[in-house]
Structures are given as structure tokens and as C-alpha cells.
Structure 1
């Protein structure tokens, strides 16, 4: 009788976590369409506004949630403050590359970067954290490398956008891992955008002096959409943070494929980007690598659960 009530909250928490995670990756998956709708605003203006508006939105959240004390505590720790600055620079590179890709007809190529990202994460764990890699993980890394080579040789160009996106986001994830739970999601994004604010201001000045700013110059609807850039940045991150606390890493690993799949569909089905045979072959090889990695991840999680359950039994 006493065991059943304890299971209900756990199941409910897992369901909530899965829902939050799914919602986060769903929003990240359709984000390219939002940035396409922001034209004629260019990628440099969008990223600068995204930084500044995200900072404003986070400041409002910190005020409502009374979280300024947590943020100040991070600033008083030089090591943590430095890590948030590094994370900010990495996410700036990622945002800028993603905006350029989205607004220049390379959404499919950006999706490739996020398809490769789980494999990049494993590779970084080996090179930086010196973690042991299982044979199936090595196989996935090798297959992904073959996919990139096939795309370079057959398609005739290096997928620079994909490589920049997966490298910047992979290292960003590594930095966030080093920070751990010492910095909550809102304070983290607030600090990252705070360090980037001077860059964003300079960027807006350069855009204003060269091509001219479009904010408030196109239409009321366009201005409203552009003003929501901070909300569009923060909401998926907060949903992800809420979900990641409630579910296993295996569940998070499976959910993360939602975003690149939706980005791929946005590029091919909605935006009608070209998909020649060579590109299909490259993507197919990447998907094979992801299947190998996913099967290994699920099996390892099951073995770990059995290993924990047997002593208890």
C-alpha cells in the first residue's frame, strides 16, 4: 500500500519532464521559420537584438522570480563568471552562424550540424574529459566522419555551417557541463547575454551605419515579431531546463533528435531547399550513425538500471 503513492509522483514528474523537453525541442525545430519571417532584417541585426532583448527578458524574469541574489552570487565567483563569459561567446558564434544559415537558404545544412551534435558531444568527451568510449560509440563517430567526407567529395563543398554549428554548440554544452548546477537557467542566460551586450551594441551601430536598421521601419507586425526575439530565445531554454531535471539523460538524448528533424523538414518541405542525391546519401549515412549511437545509448541505460536494481532486489 505504501509503495504505490511514491510511484505516482515519479511517473508524473517523468511525464512532465518529457512534455517540457518535447516542447523545447519542438520550438527549436521550427525556429528557422521565425527567423525567415523576420526578413528584411538581416542576421547581424537579428542576433544583436536577440542578445539585448534576451537580456531584458531575463532581467524581468529575475525580478519576478526574485533571482537577482543567485546571479550576484555567480558574479562573486570569478571561476563561474569566467565560464559564463566563455559560454556567452560560444552561443554568440552559434546564433550568428544559425541566423546566417537560416536567412541565406541553408536551413538543411544547419540541421545537419545538429544531427551531428550528439556524435560531436561523444568526441569531445573523449578528447577533453578523457572518458572511455564504447565500441558502438566509436563506430558512430567513424560513420559520421564518412558522411562528412561523402558530402565534401560528392557535393563539392565543405559543410562549414554544419561544422561551425556542431562545434560551437558541442563546446557550449561542455562548458555548461563544467558549470553544472551552480548556475540556474535564467541566471546563466542573463549572464551570457550581459557579457555579449557590448558586442551587440557595436554590431547595431555598424549595421545602422552601413545598411541601416530595420527595427520599427517595416510594419507593426514585423516590429512585434522582432520584439519577441528575446522571448523566443529564453522560453525553449527554460522548458529544456525544467525537463532535464525530471527525466534521464537517455530520454534527453532521444528527444534532442526532434529539433534537427523538424529543421530538416522546414528546409525541404516548407522552404523548398535543394536536396540532390549526393546530399541525401550524406544525410542517410549520418542517420545510420545516429541509429547506432541511439541503440547503444538505450542498451547501456537498460544495463545500468539492471545493475542498480539487482543489489536492491
Structure 2
């Protein structure tokens, strides 16, 4: 006897959309590794520019301008959107840097940590009540970071900043009444003038790689398109699936990144790093179980 949701064609579509989104995000290291010799800052600029232009066309085709216009004509709402834009730009830039500097394991760890950072921010900022298992999960993650610091003599700063920036982005994003596609467009639109100034300055200094290298120029344009596509798939999943189901699918992204770092890029995984990963995976399992236990119960079909 299966829950009705498992027989729902829309739920099946939601799972497929979710798998598509998280698999694309998980494979991003393979894409950004192609930008050999191009600084992360320049890639970030083009990612903002081309994703904004791509979204203009996409929103026009889908006729999604009303929520965008509504957000732009209310300056009071743009403060949080700007905070979201700056946080996601920082997250994108740091992630690209992690791939370019062959620190994909740290990037993977950062996205494994993100759900636990969300729990901590919920407690500290929103005064949410933390379940006992979530408290244990957060304690395991904190202990794992402390072990890396004590045993290896350094903090996994890329992991921590990725998790904190994306977790904070989620915190602000919850307070912005915009869907995923419209929200991303308004965020990139606010960043567009800064990106335009930056690319003009790079060109003036003769440091821009755009146009001079045709294959790289094509990849820079594609980076903007690839920013929007997984988000569209994620939006399709979010509309059809329970939050708990989305939570489980979310681990596909850092898991693929972890495997790519080990198998494709050959990054070393020391014993201490392995122990801390296991501790964080255990914490995530407890967190997921706690979320699953607290989900709304559904009647079972006979």
C-alpha cells in the first residue's frame, strides 16, 4: 500500500525535475574546470551578464513580467533582494574559485554543511525551535570542523563561507515574495550594472578574455544559460514535491561533487578529512530523519 503521492504523475514529474536540477548542479565542477586560465572574477562577471540577458528572453516567453515589475516599483522590497544578490554572487564566485584551485572537496563539504547552517540560522535569527536530533546533527558538524582545525591546523574556510553565504541567502530569500525564476532575474538585474562596469574595466585594461578566444567566449555565454536551467528544474520540483522529499534530493548535488573531486580530479582525501566527512554525513542522516519524522502524515490508500 503506497501513499497517494507515490502514484501521482505530478509527483513523479517533480522527482524527475529535482533529479535534473541537483544532477546539473553536481556536475558544475566539470563545466567550470574548462575555464583554464580565466580568473574566477571574470567568469563570475560573465555569469551575471549572460544569465541576466538569457532570463530577459525567458521571462518574456513565459510572460512572467508582472511579479518582476511589482518588485522593481517597490524600492522597500529591493533591500532584501540586493542582499540576496550580493550573497549569491559571492557564493558563485567562491565556488568557481574552489573549482579552479582544485578544492572541489571543500566545495562539496560546504554544500553538505548548508542544511545544518540553515538549522543554526533558523534558531539564532528566526528563533525557531530546534528538534533534539537536529541539535545532535549540528553538534556533529561543529565537532567535525573543530577536528579539521585542530588536527590539520587550518579551517576549511571555503566550505564554511560557501555554507554561510548560501544559508544566509536562503534566510533572506524566504523574506522575498518572488518565485525562483523572477527572484533570480531581479537579483541578476541589480548586479548587471556592476558586472557591466567590471567587464568594461577589464576590456580597457586589456585583461578580458572575451572575443579574443572564441571557444572560451562561447563557454562564458553558456555559463549564464546554465545558471538558469537547473533553477527552472528546481522550481518545477518545488511546486510538486514535499519539502522533506526535496531535502533528500538535495544531497545529490554535493555527493556528485564529492565523487568528481575524488575520481575525476584526483584530490587527496586524508584520514582526518574522511572522518570529518563521515561525521557530517551522520549529522545529515540525523537531520533528514528528524525532518522526515516531523513531516505532515498522509493517509495510506487501501
* Normalised TM-score (structure 1): 0.90
Does the Cα contact within 8 Å between 1:44 and 1:207 map onto a contact in 2? no
User: 1:51-200 to 2 correspondence within 5 Å?
Assistant: 51-179=48-176, 182-200=177-195
The correspondence for 1:269, drawn from 263, 272, 275, is 263
1:81 CA drift (Å): 2.1
Residue in 2 that maps onto 1:39: 36
Mark the runs of 5 or more structure 1 residues left unpaired by the alignment: 1-6
Q: Is the 8 A contact 1:30 1:263 kept in 2?
A: yes
SS class of match (2:266): coil
Asked if the contact 2:104–2:261 (Cα under 8 Å) also holds between the matched residues in 1, the reply is yes
Q: 1:8 to 1:257 in 2, by over 3 A?
A: closer
What displacement does 1:9 show? 10
> 1:46-75: per-residue Cα shift (whole Å, max 9, x none)?
000000101001100121112222211111
Q: Tell me how large the CA RMSD over aligned residues is.
A: 1.8
> Please, which of 215, 230, 235 is the counterpart of residue 236 of structure 1?
230
Q: Between Structure 1 and Structure 2, which shows a larger proportion of helix residues?
A: 1
2:231 match: secondary structure: helix
Q: Distance in 1 between matches of 2:274 and 2:248?
A: 22
Mapped partners of 2:194, 2:151: distance in 1: 38
Counterpart in the other structure of 2:212: 217
Task: Map Cα deviations across residues 80-124 of structure 1 (whole Å, 9 max, x no partner).
Answer: 222211110110110111111110111110110000011001111
Q: 1:8 to 1:91 in 2, by over 3 A?
A: closer
| Cα deviation, residue 197, structure 1 | 1.4
User: Which residue of 2 is the match for residue 50 of structure 1?
Assistant: 47
Stretches of structure 2 that go unaligned for 5 or more consecutive residues are: none
Q: Could you give the per-residue CA deviations for residues 22-48 of structure 1, whole angstroms, max 9, x where no partner exists?
A: 110000000011001122221011000
Q: Distance in 2 between matches of 1:210 and 1:113?
A: 34
Cα distance in structure 2, aligned partners of 1:36 and 1:133: 39
Contact 1:107 1:264 in 2 (8 A): yes
Match of 1:260 in 2: 254
Distance change >3 Å, CA 148–CA 9, structure 1 → 2: closer
SS in structure 2 at match of 1:245: helix
Contact 1:13–1:246 (8 Å) recurs in 2:
yes
- Asked if the contact 1:61–1:186 (Cα under 8 Å) also holds between the matched residues in 2, the reply is no
* Aligned 8 A contact 1:44 1:203 in 2: no
Q: Which residue of 2 aligns with 1:4?
A: none
**Distance of 1:298 and 1:187 partners within structure 2:** 30
Contact 2:104–2:258 (Cα < 8 Å) also in 1: yes
- How much has 1:209 moved relative to structure 2? 5.2
Q: Is the 8 A contact 2:105 2:258 kept in 1?
A: yes
